[in-house]
Structure 1
């Protein structure tokens, strides 16, 4: 019995070793066949990671340089070289700076140039400031009709006040009725609706 068991054990061991070698040969063939592809994949992954790290570091350096340039501008607001450098580093931050200076100095020409800014917030604020400062009904209406206007309801209130002052009460009420109940200006609009009622 033990001889028979020994023979069975040897057969099983040989079968398992044979399977192991068979798998090793298949693996070796696979590695030889796809070696270049695997090496290429590893190289591509390493290059992507290195590129991403480089991009992140470069972007952070640009942000830091833009912030330093902005600090320089705060010290000397008339330095055109620093302003040009800020524009090259961060056009959006440049437009914010120019907008803040234009509002402070009430420079309508500069605000007019900022209406087309690529910084959406600056473009919207410049458009509103121009319409509001001009007291022009058509400009306020045009601004309030913009889809994503930030101060849409405020422009409507200001347009309604202009209409009320010129005696056009029905048109003013029409403007005020466009203001949503959820708006922060809804109470103001309601109060103005009673103005001029006889």
Structure 2
């Protein structure tokens, strides 16, 4: 290697070291200038992660305790402590349990207490079951007119059977005709129409 090549290599090496030190100085200035916001951002990130982990742990704990309480209530429905735990930890599951108890016991009071339930379908099913248990045809008729009623076709069949028992053949046909062809109860309605209403 010639002296000139050595000098060029040395200049290049010094230039790269100079750039490295320059970038280190820039980084140091940046960190010094924004030290507090950087520390705050890191601390906030750690708090968010810790909060998320804590909330997930809390949610899992509530779910486990509500499932345990539900299992206890399935075995012993009169366990007041398990009922209170389920009611506090998982109100929607509590409403499902109350609905099952109300239907099993034909208890209209329990079913009517569920009319404001926020659990999907519970208020709707409770309304139908309460009207059916009471034999309240007016309430069943109102239920069939409700938008999105889950047991609408079943209520129509019940109204049709009641009309048949009263001798109101045209009323029974009218209720049966309201059951759509895509309903699972359509075949039952057609059989009732042909064999039950003449």
Q: TM-score, normalised by structure 2?
A: 0.84
* Inter-partner Cα distance in structure 2 for 1:34 and 1:145: 65
Q: Alignment partner of 2:182: what SS?
A: coil
Aligned to 2:90: 90
Aligned to 2:197: 196
* Inter-partner Cα distance in structure 1 for 2:34 and 2:28: 10
* Inter-partner Cα distance in structure 1 for 2:171 and 2:8: 103
Q: Alignment partner of 2:56: what SS?
A: helix
* Inter-partner Cα distance in structure 1 for 2:75 and 2:184: 37
Which segments of structure 1 move beyond 4 Å, counting only runs of 4 or more? none
**2:173/2:197 contact within 8 Å kept:** no
Aligned to 2:66: 66
Q: Alignment partner of 2:118: what SS?
A: coil
Q: Give the total of aligned pairs.
A: 197
Q: TM-score, normalised by structure 1?
A: 0.84
RMSD: 2.4
- Could you tell me which runs of 5 or more consecutive residues in structure 1 were left unpaired when the two chains were aligned: none
Aligned to 2:149: 149
Aligned-pair CA distance for 1:185: 0.7
* Inter-partner Cα distance in structure 2 for 1:6 and 1:51: 60
* Inter-partner Cα distance in structure 1 for 2:118 and 2:143: 17
Aligned to 1:126: 126
Offset from partner CA, 1:26-48 (integer Å, 9 cap, x none): 21222222222222222222212
1:82 and 1:12, CA in 2 relative to 1: closer, same or farther beyond 3 A?
closer
- Could you tell me which runs of 5 or more consecutive residues in structure 2 were left unpaired when the two chains were aligned: none
* Inter-partner Cα distance in structure 2 for 1:77 and 1:11: 88
Offset from partner CA, 1:137-174 (integer Å, 9 cap, x none): 32122222333322122112212222333344344333
- Higher deviation after alignment, 144-153 or 67-76: 67-76
Aligned-pair CA distance for 1:75: 4.5
Aligned to 2:42: 42
**2:65/2:85 contact within 8 Å kept:** no
- Higher deviation after alignment, 23-32 or 85-94: 85-94
Aligned to 1:182: 182
